[in-house]
């Protein structure tokens, strides 16, 4: 390989690195511009925030922890607005697939599609002692509920659809080694001698992070 080819590839790599650095710097400047206009009180609610349609949405509460409102901060200008997106307690979280936004809580699911808001009251009620916030599952809102068994519920056409048990131990569940594969597997419910399911604990929590079509489940509990 001659020196001209080497020099050309060196410049291509350097240019690509510079473009990536400029892109990262641009995103950082936009976020800094938005955060400069935020009161310090927002920081305590940052854990319930998401980006939807070029806005950073934050659920902001007063000192009592009872009254909440959702504020949007434009990522380009940093301008703030109070939205008309409602919050119903107990809060089950929110999720967006880019265009639509879903909020759940208090037995309600609110779907925001552009300027239109639709309110649903699913027949199935989520467990008040929640163990998971909403996440996106193949383009639809989903949640893991616990009635003694972890279940995947997917919100579709105004109702929570039960998609079956999730392979997590839950409270009082156990694992055993499969005789054929040698791998640890969750013991099926029909093998359990217990007649009544163990109620979920306040210390149980499941966090779901979606990466493409794969869901990563992080489980903690005692």
Model confidence pLDDT, tens digit, residues 31-70: 445 444 444 444 445 557 889 999 989 887 655 556 678 8
Cβ distance 95 to 134 under 8 Å? yes
Residue 15 has pLDDT above 60, yes or no: no
Measured CA to CA, the distance from residue 5 to residue 87 in angstroms comes to 60
* Residues ≥6 apart with Cβ < 8 Å to 110: 85, 86, 102, 103, 104, 117, 118, 119, 120
pLDDT tens-digit series, residues 115-142: 799 999 999 988 877 888 899 999 999 9
Measured CA to CA, the distance from residue 68 to residue 84 in angstroms comes to 11
pLDDT tens-digit series, residues 139-182: 999 999 887 778 899 999 999 999 988 877 666 667 788 888 88
* pTM score: 0.68
For position 27, what pLDDT does the model report? Answer: 46
User: Cα angle vertex 112, ends 29, 140, to 5°?
Assistant: 90
For tokens 């879903």, name the residue. 102
Among the residues of 109-192, which ranges form H helices?
none
H or E element that contains 19: helix 3-36
For position 178, what pLDDT does the model report? Answer: 81
Cβ distance 38 to 73 under 8 Å? yes
Measured CA to CA, the distance from residue 142 to residue 208 in angstroms comes to 10
Cis peptide preceding 31, ω within 30 of 0? no
């Amino acid at each position: 390989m001659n020196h001209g080819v080497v020099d050309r590839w060196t410049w291509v790599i350097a240019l690509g690195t510079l473009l990536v650095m400029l892109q990262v710097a641009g995103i950082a400047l936009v976020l800094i511009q938005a955060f400069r206009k935020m009161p310090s009180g927002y920081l305590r609610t940052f854990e319930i925030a998401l980006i939807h349609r070029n806005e950073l949405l934050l659920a902001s509460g007063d000192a009592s922890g009872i009254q909440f409102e959702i504020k949007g901060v434009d990522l380009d200008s940093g301008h703030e607005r109070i939205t008309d997106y409602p919050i119903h307690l107990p809060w089950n979280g929110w999720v967006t697939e880019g265009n639509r936004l879903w909020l759940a809580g208090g037995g309600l699911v609110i779907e925001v599609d552009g300027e239109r808001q639709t309110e649903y009251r699913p027949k199935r009620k989520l467990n008040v002692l929640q163990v998971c916030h909403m996440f996106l599952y193949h383009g639809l809102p989903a949640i893991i509920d616990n009635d003694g068994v972890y279940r995947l519920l997917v919100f579709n056409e105004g109702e929570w659809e039960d998609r079956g048990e999730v392979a997590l131990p839950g409270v009082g569940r156990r694992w055993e080694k499969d005789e054929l594969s040698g791998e640890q597997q969750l013991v099926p419910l029909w093998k359990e001698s217990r007649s009544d399911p163990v109620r979920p604990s306040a210390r149980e929590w499941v966090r779901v992070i979606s990466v493409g079509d794969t869901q990563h489940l992080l489980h903690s509990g005692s």
